[in-house]
Amino acid sequence: MTSKEEPQSSGTARVDLGRVGDWTTWTSLLVLLTLLPLTFLCLAPFALVLSLLLPVPFELWFVVYFAMFVLVLIPGLEFISVWIVSRHSRKPTPDEMARLTPLWERVLSRVGKGKRRRYKLRVEDDYRVNAAAGGGNLVIVTTRALDGLPDDQLEAVLAHELGHHVGFHPIMLLLQRWLILPVSWVAALSVLIHNFVAWLTSLELSSIAHRAAWIAILIIRAMLLVLDAIVRLATLVLLFLGRRAEHSADAVSTKLGYGTPLIAALERMHKEHEAQLANTSEPYPVRTFWNTHPPVPNRVAKIQKKMNQATP
């Protein structure tokens, strides 16, 4: 392996990642845009009720809803995205910060201009070796990763999470949640109405009222099936793109020179996960369309391929 894959010192030239997002980002955005009409349709009844209760125009509630999404991405308002995507995480202790900060700074020192945004490091108390990128600038590591990974491997994992931020993957995930949330509200409300109408059918009603109640039940059930089918189909496509996004983040970490320690970290995580499953009654995970991450052997093979391509 060439020196390109070895840990670089702070004095080496920075790597220009040279992109704004990647193909998974923009494809995910196109998929999410197809959900917009459904989101507006599901927001409409709530906006109507609010406009009747408060002296605010009906259309303004749609603006308010999407403005709240933008607020999540504004630096200084990270507590909103923490509450939404990582409420179980916390600020690092002084000792944890003393470990994380130098590693994170070394990762950033390898990156070219335009990628040194202000990131927030957070820790989640978890027995698994893991890390995540969330919101607009959150980088989260588990306590097990802090305790179990050596510096070079933890640094490689942090570089992987930076790769997610460079690709705007966390923003796409947050937007997905934001667009589907009104759909879940309508679904929950529909279930309540369904149960109420079903209860009415148990009462002594006229034949016309009884028939109308059953028609209402059938309409609600059909609507719920349609909503579920649309959300499931979109989720399947987005999960497929999310698995490709993991490879994209791996590629960023590899490009920054962390190929070898990233492979070691992934294999360590995979080995620990296998050992944990062996010691519990949980079934071994089966590779399906619903997996959020590609298999570790596939990721390792792609990282090795990238490293070989970088070799003169």
Amino acid occupying residue 118: R
Quick count: other Cβ atoms within 10 Å of Cβ 44? 15
Q: What's the pLDDT score for residue 282?
A: 61
Q: How many CA atoms lie within 13 A of 74 on its CB side?
A: 8
Q: What average pLDDT score do residues 7-34 get?
A: 77
Q: Domain limits at 134? A: 19-310
In-domain check, residue 215: yes
Residue appearing with tokens 């209860």: 199
Q: Are 235 and 141 in contact (CB under 8 A)?
A: no
Cβ contacts of residue 87 below 8 Å, gap of 6+? none
d(CA 174, CA 158): 20
pLDDT bracket for residue 127 (50, 70, 90): confident
The total of structural domains in the chain comes to 1
- Mean pLDDT of all residues in 68-94: 84
Euclidean distance between CA atoms 100 and 161, whole angstroms: 13
Cβ(163)–Cβ(248) below 8 Å: yes
Could you give phi then psi for residue 123, rounded to 5 degrees?
Answer: -130, 140
In a domain, 205, yes or no: yes
> What confidence score (pLDDT) does residue 276 get?
73
For 139, the token pair is 């980088």
Domain for residue 203, yes or no?
yes
Contact 217, 194 (CB under 8 A): yes
The per-residue pLDDT for range 156-196, each reduced to its tens digit, is: 999 999 999 999 999 999 999 999 999 999 999 999 999 99
Q: What backbone phi and psi angles, to 5 degrees, belong to 148? A: -100, -20
How does pLDDT run across 41-50, given as a tens digit for each residue? 999 999 999 9
Task: Tell me, yes or no, whether 106 lies in a domain.
Answer: yes
Domain assignment present for residue 11? The answer is no
User: What pLDDT shows up at residue 3?
Assistant: 37
Least confidently predicted of 12-16, 151-155, 228-232 = 12-16
Q: What percent of the chain has pLDDT over 90?
A: 66
pTM as predicted: 0.88
Helix extents (H) in the chain: 23-33, 36-53, 60-72, 78-85, 94-109, 143-148, 151-166, 169-201, 207-253, 259-278, 296-310
Tens digit of each residue's pLDDT (9 = 90 or more) over 229-287: 999 999 999 999 999 999 999 999 999 999 999 999 999 988 887 777 777 666 656 66
10 within a domain of the structure (yes/no): no
Q: Please write the tens of the pLDDT for every residue from 103-124.
A: 999 999 998 765 556 889 999 9
> What is the CB-side half-sphere exposure of residue 236 using CA atoms within 13 A?
8
Under 8 Å between Cβ of 156 and 265: yes
Give just the sign of the alpha carbon dihedral 175, 181, 187, 190: negative
Q: Is residue 1 part of a domain?
A: no
In a domain, 14, yes or no: no
CA angle, corner 76, sides to 72 and 77, nearest 5?
Answer: 30
